[in-house]
């Protein structure tokens, strides 16, 4: 895992690299005066400016099925007093639009009396390139690449009846301004490539999927060794599923594979450790700071400082730097993830987790890259302990109830295990349980921590942001497996 050391403070890109993409839109002195008027008597206030471009190409059924390009820009102005937030946004970045927004957002201040919270401090740390992956290659080049992926996958295996290949790129530029003139900014690249196949054999059809991505140049994903590996992996998974039998139903010990199965950790546990849910007392983990909530040896981090990772953020969407936060240490809950508002209301420090989908959305506590640290056992040792259970390697969709931590996840690749031996692949398997209980049932942690391939998105309150997950091979005792056979 490539890691960048953490340091306190926000990233002041304006002084570090003269990064001011919006300086031609607004006069700095006039903007500060508007913010000062809006922030008078408030606890916090910031102006979030954004420019965003994205391109997505889908090749399916031997042709380009969808090609889209989107560009937007605008600002969001937030004023906070206690737990009340005033938020106004516009796609027109101008002084007149800002003044109108300030009148609306300022309604949250009411009688005032607040002391304006100081801005985050500055640092020059940088976690990813400034290169724009959207503009990196011509449209025709990407179409040619998708055609090549399609041909390659079909030539690899005669059972392939359908190939779907995606290339998605985006580039986000932001600036955050405050009433004292403090100004920070960031340029955020993103690229993703994925391949899905359908294989047919003896009248039976099964699918396989593989993808990779991150805050990297598009050229990184367009190298033959990268996309060819994705095609091979998609075909491998589909081949496994062609051999699968119906999943058992009942309570079984489950071994989770490394990497992407960390999505279970993200959903079943991570959301419950976000500061807003705990301040309001609606999380299953509320009021449990300092208490044991997991088996000994379980250490869970949320880490926005990993270089080039999909969930990493040089600064969050309030200007606080991305940080490496230990949430659970050796089974003890020691920290929640916080944005500035919830941190202030609970008397703690913001953790660099204030995130928003776009300028049209107010920030809230969100995960970045959430993972469990490795243990000492080898994967082979862990699987050998499984007398009668399931080895789950890949996951699809899932859902969780924050109030009690109950989750349901569907497996895309899983195997039956008897007496420590991996047997037949199984299909239509779901894992059912609850996060608080699952944490206490962890019996073994592998030495093979891996992060996901860089394709994850997280939804919360209608907002979507890119995230990462990670997990070493992990044995959990007594999860409910939903299936159709006894």
pLDDT at 375: 98
pLDDT at 399: 81
Residue 259 φ then ψ, to 5°: 90, -120
- The pair of three-digit structure tokens given for residue 123, joined into one six-digit string: 């640092």
pLDDT at 17: 42
pLDDT at 156: 98
**DSSP secondary structure code for residue 142 in this structure:** H
Q: Are 14 and 28 in contact (CB under 8 A)?
A: no
Residue 423 to residue 416: CA distance in whole angstroms: 5
| Residue pointed to by tokens 């049209």 | 360
Q: How many helices (H) and strands (E) does the chain have?
A: 11, 25
Mean pLDDT by groups of 10 residues along the chain of 486 residues = 32 46 90 97 98 98 96 98 97 97 96 94 87 93 97 98 98 96 95 98 97 95 95 98 96 97 92 97 96 98 98 97 97 98 98 98 98 98 96 88 89 97 96 94 98 95 97 96 75
**Dihedral sign computed on CA atoms, order 323, 469, 224, 68:** negative
Q: Are 438 and 294 in contact (CB under 8 A)?
A: no
* The model's pTM: 0.94
pLDDT at 486: 55
pLDDT by residue (tens digit) across 59-113? Answer: 999 999 999 999 999 999 999 999 999 999 999 999 999 999 999 999 999 999 9
Q: Are 274 and 341 in contact (CB under 8 A)?
A: no
| Residue pointed to by tokens 């109950």 | 406
Query: Which domains does the chain carry?
Result: 10-243 (3.30.2290.10), 246-482 (no CATH)
pLDDT at 167: 97
pLDDT at 485: 61
φ/ψ region of 106 (left if φ > 0, alpha if ψ in -120 to 50, else beta) reads alpha
For the residues of 255-286, what is the DSSP string, one character each? EEPSSTTHHHHIIIIIGGGBHHHHHTT-STTT
Length reported for the chain: 486
Residue 53 to residue 410: CA distance in whole angstroms: 33
């Amino acid at each position: 895992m490539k890691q960048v050391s953490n340091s306190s403070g926000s990233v002041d890109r304006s002084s570090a690299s003269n990064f001011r993409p919006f300086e031609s839109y607004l006069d700095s002195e006039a903007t500060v005066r508007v913010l000062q008027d809006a922030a008078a008597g408030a606890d916090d206030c910031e102006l979030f400016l954004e420019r965003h471009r994205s391109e997505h190409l889908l090749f399916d059924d031997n042709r380009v099925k969808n090609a889209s390009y989107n560009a937007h820009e605008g600002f969001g102005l937030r004023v906070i007093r206690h737990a009340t937030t005033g938020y106004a946004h516009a796609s027109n970045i101008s002084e007149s639009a800002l003044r109108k927004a300030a009148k609306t957002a300022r309604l949250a201040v009411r009688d005032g009396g607040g002391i304006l919270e100081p801005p985050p401090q500055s640092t020059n740390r940088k976690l990813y390139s400034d290169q724009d992956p959207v503009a990196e290659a011509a449209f025709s080049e990407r179409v040619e690449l998708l055609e090549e992926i399609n041909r390659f996958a079909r030539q690899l295996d005669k059972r392939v009846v359908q190939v779907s290949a995606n290339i998605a790129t985006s580039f986000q530029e932001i600036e955050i301004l405050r009433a004292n003139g403090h100004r920070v900014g960031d340029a955020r690249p993103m690229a993703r490539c994925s391949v899905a196949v359908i294989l047919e054999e003896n009248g039976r059809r099964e699918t396989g999927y593989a993808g990779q991505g991150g805050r990297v140049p598009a050229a990184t994903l367009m190298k033959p060794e990268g996309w060819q590996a994705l095609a091979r992996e998609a075909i491998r998974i589909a081949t496994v599923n062609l051999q699968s039998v119906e999943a058992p139903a009942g309570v079984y010990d489950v071994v989770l594979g490394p990497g992407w199965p960390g999505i279970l950790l993200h959903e079943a546990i991570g959301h419950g450790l976000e500061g807003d849910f705990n301040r309001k007392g609606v999380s299953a983990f509320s009021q449990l700071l300092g208490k044991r909530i997991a088996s000994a040896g379980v250490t869970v981090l949320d880490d926005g400082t990993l270089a080039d990772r999909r969930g990493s953020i040089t600064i969050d969407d309030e200007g606080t730097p991305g940080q490496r936060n230990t949430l659970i240490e050796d089974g003890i809950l020691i920290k929640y993830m916080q944005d500035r508002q919830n941190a202030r209301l609970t008397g703690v420090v913001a953790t660099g987790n204030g995130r928003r989908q776009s300028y049209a959305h107010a920030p809230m506590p969100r995960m970045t890259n959430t993972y469990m640290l490795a243990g000492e056992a080898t994967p082979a040792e862990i699987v050998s302990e499984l007398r009668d259970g399931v080895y789950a390697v890949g996951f699809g969709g899932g859902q969780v109830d924050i109030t009690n931590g109950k989750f349901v996840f569907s497996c895309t690749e899983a195997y039956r295990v008897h007496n420590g031996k991996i047997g037949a692949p199984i299909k239509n398997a779901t894992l059912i349980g609850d996060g608080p209980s699952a944490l206490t049932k962890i019996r073994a942690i592998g030495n093979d921590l891996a992060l996901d391939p860089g394709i994850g998105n997280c939804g919360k309150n209608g907002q979507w942001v890119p995230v990462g997950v990670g997990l070493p091979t992990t044995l959990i005792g007594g999860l409910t497996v939903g299936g159709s056979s006894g």
